[in-house]
């Protein structure tokens, strides 16, 4: 079972809209397809022409933006109509995309021919996920009995967005859970229980709160408007500390923070995400700050391996500091080699800079 994850709702070079790919048991599903996520899917070389379906958590624009592109390239790749699963509202979203892409469909058939692009394969097969029945924790939306691959949906709290879902993927005793957009809630804890990997959305309230304060203090109508949006988003996402508490309460093996608000630009800022929270002592798992193109494999014996840390190298301030420090220390050693004190300082500084450089390999990831 493999996971490829991308995503963040805010615009930042190197980070596209939320989209998590789950591959296992001969199936390939996407959870959400935020703006520009299709590009990452293509760069990773994922077989869009063999996509089993897209599953929506809810219909905020940052989760649905690339539906049309993915359907089009699934069709071009030889797939038949694309299966789209989602709670109430999926029909409206899909019909809108269908209409928007109807001209494109005509152009392509006229240009390449209906034999290679059958018109009947263009578009979607809509699966509306019904509400979770009273007294149940989740609802099964997909099951493949031959490979024991199962997808369960559960309601989460992203109020006023309702319904909003999270998903649990199970395959031969392994489980991966995608939280969707949500606050900390009981159904997430129940459904994430003892899963191997939890893809957990996260907001750093302390940083967003400080940003809102600065915007407010500027007093301009535009910055006040920005501050209002920042204040509003605080109450329907999961603060980092709550994310840790969910992981501990559900006893998950590993957690990846995704849908990062605000979007960290580099690894130094990624670490600020962890600055205001404490990992519960009762939880023995690992939390990783997600990056576009990060790939995990959950093996049969439940070992989890990070196969790829990112699609593109992110600016790594530690690496740059190590490189500059090593050069400067070398220079200092050269000009002050007759002075024993300066010589010792330069050797010490050089060793520290080299160590920083060594520690900050390109695949160094922010973990706790
Ligand atoms: Zn979102
Ligand atoms: Zn949302």
Ligand 1 centroid – CA 270 distance (Å): 19
Confidence (pLDDT) at 5:
59
Q: Is the pTM of this model over 0.95?
A: no
CA of 7, nearest ligand number: 1
* Tens-binned pLDDT, residue by residue, of the chain (368 aa): 666 655 566 667 778 899 999 999 999 999 999 999 999 999 888 999 999 999 999 999 999 999 999 999 999 999 999 999 999 999 999 999 999 999 999 999 999 999 999 999 999 999 999 999 999 999 999 999 888 999 999 999 999 999 999 999 999 999 999 999 999 999 999 999 999 999 999 999 999 999 989 998 998 989 889 999 888 988 999 999 999 999 999 999 999 999 999 988 777 888 888 889 999 999 999 999 998 889 999 999 999 999 888 777 766 778 888 899 999 999 999 988 888 888 888 999 999 998 888 777 655 677 78
pLDDT at 10: 65
Provide the pLDDT for residue 11.
66
pLDDT at 147: 80
Tell me, in angstroms, the distance from the centre of ligand 2 to residue 232's CA. Answer: 12
116 alpha carbon – ligand 1 mean position (Å): 36
Give the ligand at the shortest distance from the Cα of 63: 1
pLDDT of residue 317: 78
How far apart are alpha carbons 11 and 28 in whole angstroms?
A: 27
Task: Write out the two tokens for 299.
Answer: 């093996």
| Residue closest to 131 by CA, chosen among 148, 151, 156 | 156
- According to the model, what pLDDT value does residue 8 have? 62
Q: 320 Cβ partners below 8 Å, 6+ apart?
A: none
Domain 2-204+239-308 has CATH 3.30.70.520: no
Instruction: Using alpha carbons only, give the angle 275, 14, 70 rounded to the nearest 5 degrees.
Output: 125
Tracing tokens 């590993």 back to the chain, one arrives at 254
What is the Å distance from ligand 1's center to 16 Cα? 12
pLDDT value of residue 178: 97
Tell me the CA–centroid distance for residue 86 and ligand 2, in Å.
Answer: 14
In angstroms, what is the span from residue 60 Cα to ligand 1's centroid?
A: 6
Nearest ligand to the C-alpha of residue 32? 1
Q: Residue 158 CA: which ligand is closest?
A: 2
46, 28 Cβ separation under 8 angstroms:
yes
Q: State the distance from the centre of ligand 2 to the C-alpha of 60, rounded, in angstroms.
A: 5
Residue-range domain boundaries for the chain: 2-204+239-308, 317-359
**Residue 108 CA to ligand 1 centre (angstroms):** 32
Cis peptide preceding 262, ω within 30 of 0: yes
């Amino acid at each position: 079972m493999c996971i490829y994850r991308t995503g963040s709702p805010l615009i930042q070079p190197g980070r596209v809209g939320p989209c998590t790919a789950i591959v296992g048991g001969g199936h390939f599903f996407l959870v959400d397809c935020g703006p520009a996520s299709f590009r990452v899917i293509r760069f990773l070389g994922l077989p869009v022409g063999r996509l089993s379906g897209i599953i929506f958590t809810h219909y905020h624009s940052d989760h649905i933006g690339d539906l049309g592109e993915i359907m089009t390239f699934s069709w071009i790749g030889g797939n038949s109509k694309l299966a789209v699963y989602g709670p109430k509202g999926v029909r409206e979203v899909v019909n809108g995309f269908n209409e928007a892409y109807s001209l494109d469909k005509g152009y392509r058939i006229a240009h390449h021919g209906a034999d290679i692009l059958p018109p009947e394969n263009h578009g979607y097969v809509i699966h509306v996920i019904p509400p979770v029945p009273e007294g149940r924790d989740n609802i099964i939306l997909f099951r493949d009995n031959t490979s024991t691959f199962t997808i369960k949906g559960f309601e989460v709290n992203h109020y006023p967005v309702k319904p909003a879902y999270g998903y649990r993927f199970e395959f031969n005793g392994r489980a991966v859970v995608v939280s969707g957009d949500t606050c900390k809630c009981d159904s997430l804890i129940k459904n994430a229980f003892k899963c191997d990997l939890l893809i957990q959305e996260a907001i750093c309230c302390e940083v967003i709160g400080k940003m809102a304060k600065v915007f407010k203090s500027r007093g301009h109508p535009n910055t006040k408007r920005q501050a209002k949006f920042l204040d509003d988003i605080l109450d329907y996402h999961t603060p980092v500390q709550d994310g840790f508490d969910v992981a501990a309460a559900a006893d998950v093996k590993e957690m990846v923070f995704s849908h990062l608000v605000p979007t960290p630009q580099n690894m130094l800022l990624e670490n600020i995400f962890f600055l205001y929270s404490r990992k519960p002592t009762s939880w023995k798992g690992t939390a990783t700050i997600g990056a576009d193109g990060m790939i995990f494999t959950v093996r049969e014996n439940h070992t989890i391996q990070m196969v790829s840390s990112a699609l593109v190298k992110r600016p790594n301030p530690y690496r740059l500091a190590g490189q500059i420090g090593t050069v400067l220390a070398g220079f200092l050693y050269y000009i002050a080699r007759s002075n024993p004190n300066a010589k010792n300082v330069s050797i010490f500084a050089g060793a520290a800079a080299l160590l920083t450089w060594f520690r900050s390999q390109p695949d160094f990831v922010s973990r706790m």
